[in-house]
């Protein structure tokens, strides 16, 4: 195995470990009963505004059953709601409630602050290139 690939694996492992820890903290800030993997789900909901469960499951790479259980838990906590899909009444559009948006935005601001501190002193072009390369890497997994 080429050494650069081993280095990528090592750095990604460290990044994922830190990311899980941060996601755990932020999910708890949104609501004390949330699991850490919920942060990514809330982020997609915040970005999309409203999305069908099947589309969200595909974007997150999880099964509809798993995602449905997570959505149900978020719904019970008052963080998300379902509305009938205007194009297919059998389906629902899922979105954050106002309270869900508020809580998510407060928690996300804390995460973005950590990124700002970590990237403090980096030239703007390096930050832009880092984001571009991460996006390219993530796109290659889809």
Instruction: From first to last of the 142 residues of the chain, give the pLDDT tens digit.
Output: 789 899 989 998 998 888 888 778 888 888 888 887 788 889 889 999 899 988 888 888 888 888 989 999 999 999 999 998 888 878 889 999 999 999 999 988 988 888 899 999 999 999 999 999 999 998 887 5
Q: What is the 3-state secondary structure (H, E, C) of the chain?
A: CCHHHHHHHHHHHHHHHHHHHHHHHHHHHHCCCCCCCHHHHHHHHHHHCCEEHHHHHHHHCCCHHHHHHHHHHHHHCCCEEEEEECCEEEEEEEEECHHHHHHHHHHHHHHHHHHHHHCCCCCHHHHHHHHHHHHHHHHHCC
The alpha carbons of the chain give a radius of gyration, in whole angstroms, of 17
Cα distance between residue 48 and residue 84, in whole Å: 16
In this prediction, residue 34 carries a pLDDT of 84
In this prediction, residue 18 carries a pLDDT of 84
What is the pTM for the complete model shown?
0.76
Contact between 82 and 92 (Cβ < 8 Å): yes
In this prediction, residue 76 carries a pLDDT of 93
In this prediction, residue 142 carries a pLDDT of 59
In this prediction, residue 86 carries a pLDDT of 84
DSSP string, 51-67: EEHHHHHHHHT--HHHH
């Amino acid at each position: 195995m080429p050494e650069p690939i081993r280095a990528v694996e090592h750095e990604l492992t460290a990044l994922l470990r830190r990311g899980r820890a941060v996601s755990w903290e932020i999910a708890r800030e949104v609501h004390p009963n949330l699991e850490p993997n919920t942060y990514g789900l809330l982020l997609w909901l915040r970005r999309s505004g409203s999305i069908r469960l099947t589309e969200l499951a595909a974007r997150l790479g999880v099964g509809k059953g798993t995602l449905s259980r997570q959505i149900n838990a978020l719904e019970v906590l008052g963080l998300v709601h379902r509305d009938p899909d205007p194009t297919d009444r059998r389906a629902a559009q899922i979105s954050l409630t106002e309270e869900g948006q508020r809580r998510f935005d407060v928690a996300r601001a804390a995460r973005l602050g950590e990124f700002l501190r970590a990237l403090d002193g980096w030239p703007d072009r390096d930050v832009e290139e880092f984001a571009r390369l991460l996006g390219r890497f993530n796109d290659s997994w889809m």
